[in-house]
Amino acid sequence: MDELTIFGLTSTSCAFMENFIVSARKYRPDTFNTVVAQDTITSTLKNAIRSKQLAHSYLFCGPRGVGKTTCARIFAKTINCSNLTHDTEACNQCESCLAFNNNRSYNIHELDAASNNSVDDIRNLIDQVRIPPQIGSYSVYIIDEVHMLSSQAFNAFLKTLEEPPRHALFILATTEKHKIIPTILSRCQIFDFNRIKVGDIVQYLDHVAREEKISIEQSALNVIANKADGAMRDALSIFDQIVSFSGREITYQDVITNLNVLDYEYYFRLTDHFLRNEVADTLLIFNEVLDSGFEGQHFIGGLAGHFRDLLVSRDPATIQLLEVGGDIRDRYKAQAANCPPDFLLEALRISNECDFQYKISQNKRLSVELALVRIAQLTLKKK
């Protein structure tokens, strides 16, 4: 019976998936205005295009999945567009734009330095650089993960970077700026991309969900955004994963189960028990968490994070540091109001210390339990 149900579910979601284009691809921004949360960068690039003050080489730095390659592609398309909009965006209609949108433009060359990092790879690229573009004005060379180039390759590249042909424009992208040699850095205009805030990711996923006619709880979006850790690309692919698993009606519980996230529900419950000095209950909850397959350190780190969130929720000035929205924000505020400030500080200190000592501890389970016992007795001493 169970098997049959599972079978039924799987086949429904398969049929559904056929019509569902992976949103990471479908919702990739194709104009500067649709890039999420990198406004300073996109407006600087647009200004440069408008005033025709383009550099020959750019370095895009920042964490993975925040839009570096996407911005590089949009930039390449825009500077080759023959019919720019008033707002300095690509028209998406001219021959060059259409070629870009269909991935058949000869004006853009991408090299992934993570897998092509030899001198020969760079020499091939340098040979291509000399050839002027057929349509459009610029040939754009995007070198992804440029810090992975071998030092010989770097040196071979330096000369081209110093004296590039008029039509060539380089966009180097890296997640590790500190690994780029100073001679390269000094020749590039540098842009630092931000990690994308949870709130911005939630807002964008909400937009995608509405477009796709998928109903999803706000708290579920929050979990996905947190899990993505600042990377929009990850957020979209997690979103896809959840949709293929749960269909068009997605609850908070679906997401928690699917991502195996340590639910903040545990921490709200724990804190209530701490305040009532119910030691046994806290130990049982910890046991429940371990039984669900979570690591002790993951648990204690999450607990420290919960106390931190409660702490910032106490003060209207710091509540903006709480990266959750909606109903959950109110729950944090309510629980924070019940916690004496010195309890929060001390609980944060104990859990943080336990997290710190966890790796070297001989009896890891015991050290977490000890921390729970100590926290559960904090308000007892006062009474």
256 binds Zn ion (CB under 5 A): no
Q: Which residue, 42 or 107, has its beta carbon nearer to Zn ion?
A: 107
Query: For Zn ion, which stretch binds (CB under 5 A), given 81-89, 171-179, 227-235, 371-379?
Result: 81-89
Q: How far is the CB of 242 from Zn ion (least distance, A)?
A: 36
Tokens read off for 108: 């853009």
Give SS3 for 111.
strand
Q: Which residue, 97 or 350, has its beta carbon nearer to Zn ion?
A: 97
Q: 22, 48, 91, 256: which one contacts Zn ion (CB under 5 A)? A: 91
125's CB contacts (< 8 A; 6+ apart) are: 109, 111, 141, 143, 157
Q: How far is the CB of 29 from Zn ion (least distance, A)?
A: 16
126 binds Zn ion (CB under 5 A): no
Binding mask 318-357 for Zn ion (x = CB under 5 A): ----------------------------------------
Query: For Zn ion, which stretch binds (CB under 5 A), given 82-90, 132-140, 145-153, 180-188?
Result: 82-90
Q: Which residue, 81 or 243, has its beta carbon nearer to Zn ion?
A: 81
Q: Which residue, 84 or 345, has its beta carbon nearer to Zn ion?
A: 84
97 binds Zn ion (CB under 5 A): yes
- The size of the interface with Zn ion (CB under 5 A), counted in residues, is 5
Determine the longest span between alpha carbons in the chain, in angstroms. 82
Q: 45, 81, 300, 376: which one contacts Zn ion (CB under 5 A)? A: 81
Query: For Zn ion, which stretch binds (CB under 5 A), given 75-83, 185-193, 255-263, 324-332?
Result: 75-83
User: 287-307 b/e with 16+ CB inside 10 Å = b?
Assistant: eebeeeebebeebbbbbbbbb
Query: For Zn ion, which stretch binds (CB under 5 A), given 92-100, 338-346, 355-363, 364-372?
Result: 92-100
Listing DSSP states for 126-178 in one string gives HHHHTSPPSSSS-EEEEEETGGGS-HHHHHHHHHHHHS--TTEEEEEEES-GG
Give SS3 for 92.
coil
Query: For Zn ion, which stretch binds (CB under 5 A), given 3-11, 77-85, 112-120, 264-272?
Result: 77-85
Q: How far is the CB of 92 from Zn ion (least distance, A)?
A: 6
Q: How far is the CB of 111 from Zn ion (least distance, A)?
A: 25
Query: For Zn ion, which stretch binds (CB under 5 A), given 95-103, 233-241, 300-308, 328-336?
Result: 95-103
Angle between the N-to-C axes of helices 218-228 and 326-338, in degrees from 0 to 180, rounded to the nearest 10: 80
Tokens read off for 117: 């990092």
**Alpha helices, DSSP H only, in 218-376?**
218-228, 232-246, 252-259, 264-275, 279-291, 296-313, 326-338, 341-357, 364-376
> How far is the C-alpha of 235 from the C-alpha of 228, rounded, in Å?
5
303 binds Zn ion (CB under 5 A): no
Q: Which residue, 79 or 148, has its beta carbon nearer to Zn ion?
A: 79
Q: Are 70 and 35 contacting, i.e. CB atoms less than 8 angstroms apart? A: yes
Q: Is 285 left (phi over 0), alpha (psi -120 to 50) or beta?
A: alpha
Q: 17, 22, 54, 94: which one contacts Zn ion (CB under 5 A)? A: 94
113 binds Zn ion (CB under 5 A): no
> How far is the C-alpha of 203 from the C-alpha of 201, rounded, in Å?
5
Summarize as ranges the residues that interact with Zn ion (CB under 5 A): 81, 90-91, 94, 97
